[in-house]
Amino acid sequence: MTQELIIQTIISSLLVVQLVGFLLFVLIDKYIDKKRKNILVIIIFAIFSLILQNVLEFLLVEYLPAQYFRIAVAVYGYVIRTVIIVLFMYIVNPIKKYRLSWILVVLNSAIHLTAFFSDICFTINSDNFYVGGPLHSFCFIISLVLMLYLLFLVLREYIKKSKSEIFMPIFLVAIMIASMLLDLFFNEKSQMFDYVTVALCFVSIFFYTWLHIQFFIIHEKKLIENQRVKLMLSQIQPHFVYNSLNAIQAIDGVPEKAQNAIIDFSKFLRENIDTLTSPDVVLFNKELEHVKKYVSLEQLRFGEKVKVVYNINCEDFVLPVLTLQMLVENAIKHGITKKYEGGTVNIISEQTDDNYVITVKDDGVGFDVNKELDGNHIGIKSVKNRLAQFVDGSLSIESQMGKGTTATITIPKTNQKQIKL
């Protein structure tokens, strides 16, 4: 075995191992839906078939001349390249039919099939030499058109979601075009693999990795949105609505107080429902107004048992919607109202040189932080996730049994001006 053949064999082995690893990653990927996963598996096997095609064509050139068999193998190589590109379109958007793209694939196939009876595209002569015809670059042209359309689909789908990362698909398309040019002008018959084949192996993995990141981001956003919905629904649970309406009904002889209570109640419900379509963040003073409506309804129910002290030293900053609301609700529901005599919740906002700090402190019953926060606490998890996601903030909770709980939100000042409401 010659040294060149040994090198070519090593390269083919590495490409196959790479594809097997790629396949394993795709099969265990939990962020890609079943339809896209199936398409990726088909793409992997299509690329694997292209590797086999390259190896077989190399053998037919160097060792086993067979004119018509080599034509068939060559035609398959030209056709499968365009098929793989179209399949990647389904990864970007699996719903579309891509009829025009498939028409181009069929046209490309038809042109190359003429090699069996004409030299208009290419042929293999009786001496086993490749002879290019007037349309020998047709596959390159069709592939270029399809690659540019794939790039257009990626830009249209993701440019609004991830502008900073959009350079990657552009770079990958450039690599594919460069490999096509290399095959068109510099491909030697002595090499086992076309440049396009090697490029497809690497580009497919990088493209999948890039798409995986996009799907992960979308998955995280959906997760946060689901938490947001659950958080909103937790504020308007039937027992809360029922208790609030009962408290309003119990107001006797003070119509103005009942009227104000009904207004607060309706605004509270409306604002919670509006969070489903509102921006992810809100000005602190608006969030505080929402909290005050909630507090007024709880004070209507519990009377003197619920005392809330506001110590607001700064309010010109933003935070995720319903974060302060959740902490105040926890302080009242799970803290001070669990005590017979009730208690006080202190809401404090202040700022340091680098951060805005919100503190919600109660003198309620307290709890074991290690035990309860290790559980599936949707509200606290949601607050932490959304603080990190939208304002790069954090939440810390300290509590002592019988003494109360302190929840502290810390929001860096650095990104505040860039956050859009």
Domains of the chain by start residue, with CATH: 3-218 (1.20.1070.10), 236-418 (3.30.565.10)
C-alpha 217/C-alpha 225 separation (Å) is 12
Task: Identify which of 46-50, 175-179, 237-241, 253-257 has the greatest average pLDDT.
Answer: 46-50
C-alpha 383/C-alpha 287 separation (Å) is 14
| Among 39-53, 157-171, 390-404, the least confident range | 157-171
Tell me if residue 115 falls in helix, strand or coil: helix
The secondary structure of the chain in percent helix, strand, coil, rounded to multiples of 5, reads: 65, 10, 25
Q: Is 411 exposed, middle or buried (0-12, 13-18, 19+ CB in 10 A)?
A: buried
Q: Is 218 exposed, middle or buried (0-12, 13-18, 19+ CB in 10 A)?
A: middle
The stretches of 93-137 forming alpha helices (DSSP H) are 99-113
Asked whether 345 and 328 are in contact (CB, 8 A), the reply is yes
Rounded to 5°, the CA angle 143-212-146 comes to 10
123-144 pLDDT, tens per residue?
A: 888 888 888 899 988 999 999 9
C-alpha 71/C-alpha 67 separation (Å) is 6
Q: Give the pTM.
A: 0.58
Residue type, 64: L
Mean pLDDT in residue range 240-264: 65
Asked whether 161 and 214 are in contact (CB, 8 A), the reply is yes
At residue 119, does pLDDT exceed 80? yes
Residue type, 306: V
The confidence score (pLDDT) of residue 376 equals 45
Mean pLDDT in residue range 341-352: 94
Q: Residue 165: which pLDDT band, with cuts at 50, 70 and 90?
A: low
Q: Which residue has the higher pLDDT, 48 or 4?
A: 48
C-alpha 345/C-alpha 334 separation (Å) is 12
Task: Identify which of 32-41, 43-52, 154-163, 214-223 has the greatest average pLDDT.
Answer: 43-52
At residue 355, does pLDDT exceed 80? yes
| Percentage of residues of the chain with pLDDT beyond 70 | 81
The confidence score (pLDDT) of residue 365 equals 92
Closest by alpha carbon to 301, among 273, 271, 347, 336? 336
Mean pLDDT in residue range 241-265: 65
Closest by alpha carbon to 278, among 390, 140, 132, 395? 390
| Among 146-150, 174-178, 231-235, 281-285, the least confident range | 231-235
At residue 231, does pLDDT exceed 60? no
365-397 pLDDT, tens per residue?
A: 998 877 766 544 556 877 888 888 888 899 999
Q: How many CB atoms within 10 Å of residue 396?
A: 11
Rg (CA), the chain: 32
The confidence score (pLDDT) of residue 14 equals 85
| Among 45-49, 371-375, 396-400, the least confident range | 371-375
| Percentage of residues of the chain with pLDDT beyond 90 | 30
Q: Where are the beta strands (DSSP E) in 222-266?
A: none
Q: Residue 238: which pLDDT band, with cuts at 50, 70 and 90?
A: low
Mean pLDDT in residue range 201-213: 83
Q: Which residue has the higher pLDDT, 191 or 64?
A: 64
The confidence score (pLDDT) of residue 297 equals 81
